[in-house]
A and B are shown apart, each in its own frame.
Chain A
Amino acid sequence: METDLGLWSILIAIVGGAIRVSTPFLFVSLGELLTERSGRINLGLEGTLVFGAMSGYGVAYLTGSAWAGVAAASVAGAMFGVVHGVICSIPRVNDIAIGIALMLFGMGLAFFFGKRFIQPVAPYLPSIPFGWWSDIPQIRAALDVNVLFLIGLGLALVISWMLRTTRVGLILRVVGDSTDAARAMGLRPVPIRIAATAAGGALAGIGGAYLSLYYPGSWTEGISSGQGLMAVALVIFARWNPVACIWAALLFGGAGALGPALQSVGITSGYYLFYAAPYVLTLGLLIATSSPTRAMSGAPGELSITK
């Protein structure tokens, strides 16, 4: 059973970790991307993620079906999105402040309803063993890929295609770039933004269900530890590009696996430094890709942080 892979095991662990840990990042950042491309910021997705984790776990436990849990989490997330979208449609309401309020509200509500679900064990989401060809257990474990991860990859490509070539994508981009232009085209920005925020919330809810139903696969109050907030930042990092969101999510997932992987092969000192790797990486990349001549390329024009 035991195979000594030496330093190769770090690479395998990073790949495995990237696949395991990145899914919530991917879903939340794709959700936030949809919302932001319509001209709104929803900082509350951390709360939606935690609430999605709780509701997904609860429903999966009560119905015995993990997929029912995923569906419930997406509905709950969409509801949070609608609330955020509707409140922000009132004139002179600050979407950042509402987002923070909804984040705290979502977490509090999740803790309140989640009390009775901490102890029970809910069914897991299935995974596909892509490592069947190998007889090395580490590789088999690393390539055990969850279906939601694959759905997330597909979704990123679909969103990218949708934004680029479809009428729906064009409408979303126009509303996000200029309210006046959208009105001139005969579009009604408010319902479109609410719909985009709801869709974003639904995706964040699914990300939460992945946390509680697959990896780490249990409902505890500390399940997210800020991943939702990080995913919102990933959107800026990915420059509002869905395909770049995949790479950003994988990068953060892999970087998170670096610390434990290094310790497991005996590189044990300085683990606090390794744990800071994702943040150092982000800083470095943001500095490297920033430009003094053009600010925030790819940012939707109606976004309140760029106005």
Chain B
Amino acid sequence: MTRSTPAFSRRSFLSATTALGAAAALGLPARAQSNMTVGFIYVGPRDDFGYNQAHAEGAAAVKAMAGVTVIEEENVAETIDVQKSMESMINLDGASLIFPTSFGYFNPHILELAPKYPDIRFQHAAGLWTDGMPSNVGSYFGYIGMGQYLNGIVAGHMSATKKIGFVAAKPIPQVLLNINSFLLGARAVDPSITCQVIFTGEWSLAVKEAEATNALVDAGCDVITCHVDGPKVVMETAARRGAFICGYHADQTALAPDRYLTGAEWNWAGVYTGMVQTVLDGGMIDNFVRGGLADGFIKMSPLGSAVSDAARAQFEAAKAEILAGGFAALKGPLNDNTGKPLLGAGEALVETDIALESMDYLVEGVIGSTA
């Protein structure tokens, strides 16, 4: 009886686990086809009225697809943490398609991990995939600057002080494009309008965002929008101070229905289900995907009750122009806010222009600085 232990010798244990491991390794591709696992990683909470909520709504649409398992992880920092999250999704959950959704995940984290896992597809929002980067990495984004341009048109009509405000996180190209578009939309209504910008320095700093909003209202801004991860604090603070608000990322109407004018929203549900379907059908997602209002990448919140008829008319006209394609918010002659010429007369940067994605300036009329 006591001599029966050799039956469980180390060697037989090892061979058994190796066999198990081999079976798992063989089983993985088969499972990936019949039941694909898709991972989503968010930098903040999934229901933040903002950036993460917009992506999580897209993930929820993917979850409803047949043959797809969705795994999600929230509050993952833009540090080595995201690499650990991605590796655990790949190795423990068997994810074959991963959407790490925050800007800072791309370089270096995704670019470092992708060569190690050539069979896994990494789809990153907002990154700029260029030739020479790993072919299993893709970047996608929408022309949400157009949404901020439309926000600006409504803001231009509704502003009595001719000063509008923008609470921004960091001076990266996407944020600068939003600020510039917001002002240029307003200037399409009245060229004397200025836009005050305050940078908080981080994506999510509730108290600083509230302070920035108060400072903007104190400086005379009466329509305020933002580009931070969770616009809830900015929207509520601005509405309490009596300013009008334009939303960003997701629909924030519920926070202040009588002060909310409209908002630039992501529409990831259609984009994500399309990408997952491509993979399910055995196809390849393009490495570089961009889309705008016409492609269903972005949408506008329903116009609020406070919006005037004149604003409504110009908003709809501009929206139709953007939907027709080839629209340019940045048209020459145009200087930056230090007086340096950007575009000559007749020159323009249309919404699809790749040069917009390396924007490092604020246009004339924006009060603020990129550093």
Contact = CB atoms under 8 A, between A and B. Distances in A.
Given A227-B207, A259-B208, A272-B201, A221 B45 contact: yes
B230 A263 contact: no
Given A222-B44, A260-B198, A264-B198, A216 B369 contact: no
A141 B242 CA distance: 11
Interface stretch (B7-15, B85-93, B211-219, B351-359): B211-219
A218 B197 CA distance: 23
Contacts of B367: 266, 268
A141 B214 contact: yes
Interface string A205-240: 000000100011110111111010000000000000
A16 B215 CA distance: 10
A2 B161 contact: yes
Interface residues of A, number: 47
Interface string B192-209: 000011111110111111
Contacts of A20: 210-211, 214
Contact of A263 (B49, B161, B210, B215): B215
Interface in A98-129: 111, 115, 118-119, 121, 124
B224 to A, nearest CB: 12
Nearest to B199: A271
B47 interface: yes
B255 interface: yes
A271 to B, nearest CB: 6
B206 A2 contact: no
Interface string A274-307: 0100000000000000000000000000000000
Contacts of B45: 111, 115, 118, 220-221
A227 B219 CA distance: 27
A260 B368 contact: no
A118 B211 CA distance: 20
B199 A216 contact: no
B253 to A, nearest CB: 12
B336 interface: no
A200 B210 CA distance: 27
B29 to A, nearest CB: 36
Chain B, interface size category, equals 35 or more
Contacts of A222: 44, 204-206, 230
A201 interface: no
A136 to B, nearest CB: 10
A256 interface: yes
Contact of B237 (A119, A216, A223, A225): A216
A72 interface: no
A16 B214 CA distance: 10
Contacts of B200: 260
B220 A121 contact: no
A21 B232 contact: no
B133 interface: no
A12 interface: yes
Contacts of A259: 201, 208, 211
B23 interface: no
Query: A1, A215, A268: which has the most chain B beta carbons within 10 Å?
Result: A268
Contacts of A263: 196-199, 212, 215, 368
A268 B368 contact: yes
A179 interface: no
Given A1-B161, A21-B211, A260-B198, A225 B205 contact: yes
Nearest to A120: B254
Given A222-B205, A225-B205, A260-B212, A141 B219 contact: no
Contact of A216 (B196, B207, B219, B255): B207
A132 B255 CA distance: 28
Contact of A260 (B75, B163, B208, B369): B208
A4 to B, nearest CB: 8
B356 to A, nearest CB: 22
B207 A21 contact: yes
B241 interface: yes
A111 B254 CA distance: 22
A244 B48 CA distance: 37
A272 B201 CA distance: 7
Given A115-B47, A142-B218, 12 more contacts: A16-B214, A16-B218, A119-B49, A217-B236, A218-B233, A225-B208, A259-B201, A260-B200, A263-B215, A264-B215, A268-B369, A270-B371
5 contacts: A121-B254, A211-B206, A216-B237, A217-B240, A220-B48
Interface of B: 44-45, 47-49, 75, 160-161, 163, 196-202, 204-212, 214-220, 222, 230, 232-233, 236-237, 240-241, 254-255, 367-369, 371
**Complex A-B, nearest 7 residue pairs according to Cβ-Cβ distance, in ascending order:** A268-B369, A216-B210, A264-B215, A260-B215, A264-B219, A222-B204, A2-B220
